[in-house]
Structure 1
Amino acid sequence: MYLMVDNYDSFTAMLTSYFSECGADGVVVKNDEISCVDVCEMLARGSLEGIVISPGPKSPADCGNCIQIVRLAARMRVPLLGVCLGHQIIAAAYGASVIRGERPMHGKVSMIRTDGQGLFCGMPSLFPVTRYHSLVVAEESLPSCFVVDAYSDDGAVMAIRHRQLPLYGVQFHPEAARTLYGHELIANFMECCKVKGVLIDGRTDYRSGLACECRG
């Protein structure tokens, strides 16, 4: 099961639908109705394979408990995908700057160029995506633990990936109708959850190890 943290966005339902079409069961919770303690309890029950931070209309500074959840996921090595605002939240959690882009991109289609790594494994190096954002991650502010996996045709950062941890962000909307390979991207993230996730079973007691994380 995955956790969808909803940043009060209309696209969350469509994103959830895409995950369902890819065979993933999930639970959707608003960003101010889920805490790190709640996430820890899900981990301790062995019911959590990955986390998705949804798009949203605001900024990383106004996203409920998302920043803390990203940091918890990093400490616990829980696979996490951030979409649009979620992508920016990952960057902000690591101290990167999220700035206003050259122009708003609301419903605009851009070509992106990818490195074929991470979530883009098995996809062409160039394909169209749909963008709904006015803010972007400032590439020069990203710490060295992140690699940029995709750029738009206007040079904006379109995807990031942590070099050691299963943390992924995409600025575009994989669930939008005019984005190609959206299902494939989600399927690649689901595969990451299977390979790198914390698939806890009843034979292992993680509660004591999680206790210190939940206090943070």
Structure 2
Amino acid sequence: MRTLIIDNYDSYTNNLVTLWCEAMKAMFLDLRKVFERDEKIATDSVPLSEILNIDFILENLILIRNDQYSWEFVEQNILPFVDNVIISPGPGHPENEKDFGICSKTILLTKKPILGICLGHQGIASCFGTKIVKAEVPVHGQKSALRILEEAKFPLVSTNCKFKTSLFESIPQGISVVRYHSLVVDEKG
């Protein structure tokens, strides 16, 4: 699964890269268990140590800044070769092209699955017509209980695949998360 991470000039992007690497390792460990149980798959499959080396990770993760390349370059030379996109947090407002770069066009013009975090999430909402407004009170370092809606528990891979997972599968309902934002998606639309 090749992933494009678009960095909106936020230090949290480093955490996203680390989390992505850990998720890939965990996914391959789980896949290996599935494959080892499947009688149809040969036991001489590629050793896990070869799959999880840094070259493999680097070949499957593309990290770019939101203004590093033109939209045309990304559309022609990067998006056709990835399976999904993660849009990072960042300062600014998603409706300001200087703050959000190629992210709006990525959201509107690609058919790849997109995960938006903070500014990325706000950008997805904004691109589809929802207003982004200032929060009543800026939230910086506040802990909140995470509520995962049932609709969010969709499979990440094809139903034809033996290995299925949900984006939030291993995250417990109500887990404490830390929030950092001064803008919010307007619930009124």
Give me the TM-score of the superposition, normalised by structure 2.
0.66
| Per-residue Cα deviation, 1:126-178 (whole angstroms, up to 9, x for no partner) | 2211111010001221xxxxxxxxxxxxxxxxxxxxxxxxxxxxxxxxxxxxx
SS in 2 for 1:140: coil
Partner of 1:41: 76
**Aligned equivalent of 1:70, options 83, 107, 114:** 107
- The structural deviation recorded for 1:115 is 1.7
RMSD: 1.9
**Which runs of 5 or more residues in structure 2 are unaligned?**
25-56, 153-166
Q: Which has the higher strand share?
A: 1
Identity %: 38
1:5 aligns with 2:6: yes
SS in 2 for 1:22: helix
1:53 aligns with 2:87: yes
Partner of 2:61: 26
Map 1:199-214 onto structure 2 (within 5 A). Answer: none
- The structural deviation recorded for 1:121 is 4.1
Partner of 2:168: 120
Structure 1 contact 12–55 (Cα < 8 Å) conserved: yes
**Which runs of 5 or more residues in structure 1 are unaligned?**
142-216
Structure 1 contact 50–80 (Cα < 8 Å) conserved: yes
- The structural deviation recorded for 1:124 is 3.4
Partner of 2:130: 96
CA distance in 2, matches of 1:116, 1:122: 14
Structure 1 contact 115–125 (Cα < 8 Å) conserved: no
**Cα–Cα, structure 1 residues 33 and 43, in superposed 2: closer, same or farther, change >3 Å?**
closer
CA distance in 2, matches of 1:59, 1:69: 16
**Letter of the aligned partner of 2:5 in structure 1?**
M
Count how many residue pairs are aligned between Structure 1 and Structure 2.
Answer: 137
Give me the TM-score of the superposition, normalised by structure 1.
0.58
Larger Rg: 2
Map 1:152-191 onto structure 2 (within 5 A). Answer: none
CA distance in 2, matches of 1:88, 1:64: 14
Partner of 1:135: 183
Structure 1 contact 42–48 (Cα < 8 Å) conserved: no
| Per-residue Cα deviation, 1:164-195 (whole angstroms, up to 9, x for no partner) | xxxxxxxxxxxxxxxxxxxxxxxxxxxxxxxx
**Cα–Cα, structure 1 residues 127 and 116, in superposed 2: closer, same or farther, change >3 Å?**
farther
